[in-house]
Amino acid sequence: MNAQKSQTIEHLQKIANSTKNDSAKAAALNQLGFEGDDYGLDGKKFTEEGLKLSTKLNIKSEKAIALLNQSQIFSKKGKYDSALIAIQKAQELYPKKDSIKHASFYSKYYFSLGMLELPQGTEKDGALKNVLNALRFAKKTNDNYLTTVCYGAVGTAYNQLRAFDKAIESNKEFLDYALKSKGNLSLAKAYNNISASYLNAGNKELYDQYSKEFEKLVPQLKNPYYNWLLVHNNALSFAEKGMIDKAVFEAKKAIELAKKAQVPPAKLMDSYYLTAYCLSLLKKNEESNQYLNEVSKIAEEIQSPEYKMYAVSGFAENYAALGDYKKTAEYLSAQISLSDSISSEKTKINSNYLHIKNKIDQKDSQLQLQEEKINRKNLLNWLLIGGLAALLAIAVLGYRNYNHRKKIQEQKITKLETEKQLLATQSLLKGQEEERTRISKDLHDGLGGLLSGVKLQLGAMKGNLILTEENGNAFNRALNKLDESISEMRRVAHNMMPETLLKFGLQQALTDYSNGLSQGQYFTIDCEFFGVENRLENSVEIVVYRIVQELINNAVKHSEATKILVQVMRHDKEHLNITVEDNGKGFNLDEMKTKNSAGLQNIQSRVNYLNGKMDIQSVIGKGTSVYIECDLNQNG
């Protein structure tokens, strides 16, 4: 199949390079514009030529396809409103005929919409809806490449929604398809996608297994882009595993490969940013700034305000670590300005999007009606046959099954009541965590930057003022209080939603929290973990973290303990145990229950969310032990 595909690409190139300007050449240019990048060709060049020729020849169908290709180029550059306009023009140009017979166009049409929505997130699940439609139409064609890229887009959309189980399921289907098609490019994309899904889900063993299969195929693709992708993925894997030195080595190697392969600037920027981030983790802040400079340059070239903001945020953190608070304040101020600018720009883009989407939705309704007309006769016949059979079955079995159905209905009602209670708890906890994340971001990015700026301005004023010794001491005490306020604000923001939990998982987050809390204190906190090396589902990790955090805080505030022990153990995929013990003064459990403590209620609600059971044992003068068993399978 690879030999056949190579021959097809060569044949398309031959037609595209011919001097005869006709519909066949326009179609070849458009096909190369869509597929070219994956075969080491300049897809942008073919797209521009295809649009120019189809416009000159006034071939509306080919011009529509060229516009869809152009929209994807605009999306990659962040020009989302230009991409929307291109899609709208393509929609208006293409003949409004049977959508089934024109499955290839409609697959590319929905694929283009999905690729537009994926990076900017105009709707939470809008991208997923469109790429699923794209895959549905692609399966009605014999186009292996089109079906391959649509499968890849579906997996990416699920990953963006953090639905990693769905992403894995979709990519397994993709891999089955690729194994049947036996195309190296399709297989490589499938192995790369499924390995990425397992890495996101925290299953490093299966990530390694599938990434090795991808690595075997890379040399056969003979495309420098995939050489870069392989090394960049290795760097990400090392970073995820906490092997930061190796991650830096692979990320730097990826940068050199990206330059040689002339990969898109955005991909090169990803490698630079990964290198800078890992260097900052190693406390090599000056070297990290050198790579952030490159990120900033490329972000400026491709007009990516998001990466500009990531760069200045990295600068602020590095200079804070280096003790240069003046530059820290400058970059924090720049970060706030960029954040406001991005928010304003997205408001404008979303306004344009809604305007154009209204027209697109009208077209979608027309397509749906057309498909319904095509299938209506067959569907009606099947419904009549099925209805007669169902009526006959009901008449014969009705009395027999009455009591059985009644019991099932009662079970369903009980189950629905349980699910309703669980849903209420889930919604409450989800709302709490989303609000914590929002407040944490506002505190860190907004108030933190402003307070740091005020501190620097007061410091500058001090040098220009003539103060008495008493007033000077008062001024210094005010500055010290401001320092304490900034530190306390950052501590609160971190406690509300620690970045370590999101980036490196439960074990690292709890270790960091315990170490930070016990540093310089009269008590010690020992943490023990078993079976949690692989990441849990994001929502489960947050709930477990909050439970342990609340139990540790209770021990620190009330027990007067000198030793606190934390154990988190996962015996299999379904069961997780949490133990928090202290050697403090203990308490009367009966009295605590009558007080109806809000802290214990919060812990109990989170335990219920995980379908768990909590046992509290406390003896006055001898300490307290809290043991929790959770059933993760039921929670899923």
pLDDT tens track for 141-174:
888 889 999 999 999 888 888 888 999 999 999 9
Q: What is the pTM of this model?
A: 0.52
Residue that the structure tokens 């906890």 belong to: 429
pLDDT above 70: percentage of residues in the chain? 78
Q: State pLDDT tens for residues 101-123.
A: 688 898 999 999 888 887 765 45
What integer pLDDT is reported at residue 423 of this predicted model? Answer: 58
- Name the least confident of 56-60, 207-211, 482-486: 482-486
What integer pLDDT is reported at residue 83 of this predicted model? Answer: 87
Higher pLDDT, 447 or 4: 447
The partner residues of 613 in beta bridges, in order of sequence, read 629
Three-class DSSP category at 577:
strand
Q: Is the pLDDT of residue 421 over 80?
A: no
Q: State pLDDT tens for residues 327-367.
A: 888 888 888 887 766 655 555 555 455 555 555 555 555 55
- Name the least confident of 186-190, 414-418, 584-588, 621-625: 414-418
**Residue 406: Cβ within 10 Å count:** 10
Residue 175 DSSP code: H
Distances (CA, A) of 541 to 39, 428, 495, 505: 41, 16, 15, 7
500 with 509: CB under 8 angstroms? yes
CA distance 636 to 633: 5
Q: Sorting pLDDT into bands at 50, 70 and 90, what band is 56?
A: very high
Average pLDDT of every residue of the chain: 81
Higher pLDDT, 395 or 205: 205
What integer pLDDT is reported at residue 454 of this predicted model? Answer: 64
Task: Put residue 613 in one of left, alpha, beta given phi > 0 → left and psi -120 to 50 → alpha.
Answer: beta
What residue ranges define each of the domains in the chain, with the CATH number in brackets?
16-95 (1.25.40), 500-635 (3.30.565.10)
CA distance 556 to 533: 27
